Amino acid sequence: MSSNHPYAKELEIATLAVKRASLLTKGLSDSIQSLQKSGNTITKDDKSPVTVGDFASQAIVNYAIGRNFPEDEIVGEEDSESLQAEDGAEISSKILQLIKDVQSETSSYNGKLGQLEDINQVYESIDKGNSQGGSKGRFWALDPIDGTKGFLRGDQFAVCLALIEDGKVVLGVIGCPNLSETIIANDKHSGIVGGLYSAIKGVGAYYTPLFTSQEFIPLDKQKRISMTDNTTPETLKVVEGVEKGHSSHSTQAQIKEKLGFNPNTVSQQTLNLDSQVKYCVLASGQADIYLRLPVSDTYREKIWDHAAGNVLIYESGGQVGDITGKPLDFGTGRTLNSKGVIAGNKQIFDKVINAVQQVLN
């Protein structure tokens, strides 16, 4: 991709912002693990490390976008109201300190991303994420820490940023701080840890290590990735969430049975991963199917949970839809007006949708 491509600047700013936010969140996740190893347990109710990470990550990315593309809106997960309350002072100062530390560590980015200097700038940047989205114009969708349970466990989480124009995702960048380059099974991971996955509509999907270089690596120096064309049940692999609360694992088991998976090997052919890391594993040809079935009739997915992964799948040669196979529509506001998410290589996608429909009906 040449430097005069229409999205060249967007890709560079998005990449550097995601790299900076990934470094911050990785440091925080690692420090939680150190605390736990020394006997200080963090309960599921103690959301403070996630809160700090979410807000700091969102502030960094939103500030970079606002500085470079002041006309663009952002659909973000967080707002600063709770931080500005009387009891938010302590957590606010932690957030500011983490941001200052990572800005110092990645000072070569300051010219392009700018620097947040005080807490009011941080609040202002977080609150830039208040866009309602929609089917017209251009906006970004950000998930500052996707996969909070994985983040707390020191497992998989991601920083996910996508650019949406007239309801279509045109660019996506996903930073996966704890993702190994190669995943064969849940207990078999190898290669460089930390991956950066990028896609631009019509240009392709790419991978490069997340932490080995602080520089922006142009796409032509990155590894182009593509989905598989596996269709036989013996060779297929499925990615699903770790948390049962996010999708119906029991129904997903029935779908795999319909697709002809061997009950003796199905567990080795299922990868359980938090966050949009699942899309990255699929796009890089290490799995073939992604199942996320609705847990209730009323639940609707947030657009920031799927936007970056959506363009990554299409640009790596795959297909994404809801449980009926209909493409996801990112122009209906902050949520998707559809049920569930199914992705797969093009050869298997229709067969998977057919199995989903049979099981659900």
The residues annotated as belonging to the active site are 54, 148
Residue 354 is encoded by which pair of tokens?
């057919």
Q: Which residues, in sequence order, are CB contacts of 69 under 8 Å at separation 6+?
A: 10, 13
Helical packing angle, 8-37 and 89-105, nearest 10°: 120
Among the listed residues 90, 11, 9, 25, the one whose alpha carbon sits nearest the alpha carbon of residue 60: 25
What distance in Å separates the CA atoms of residue 29 and residue 49, rounded to the nearest whole number?
A: 8
CB 360 within 8 A of CB 255: no
What distance in Å separates the CA atoms of residue 330 and residue 307, rounded to the nearest whole number?
A: 7
Using CA of residue 245, residue 246, residue 251, residue 254, what is the dihedral sign?
A: negative
β-sheet bridge partners, residue 173: 161, 198
Amino acid at 233: P
What distance in Å separates the CA atoms of residue 136 and residue 139, rounded to the nearest whole number?
A: 9
Among the listed residues 107, 110, 83, the one whose alpha carbon sits nearest the alpha carbon of residue 94: 83
Q: How far is CA 72 from the centre of its chain?
A: 20
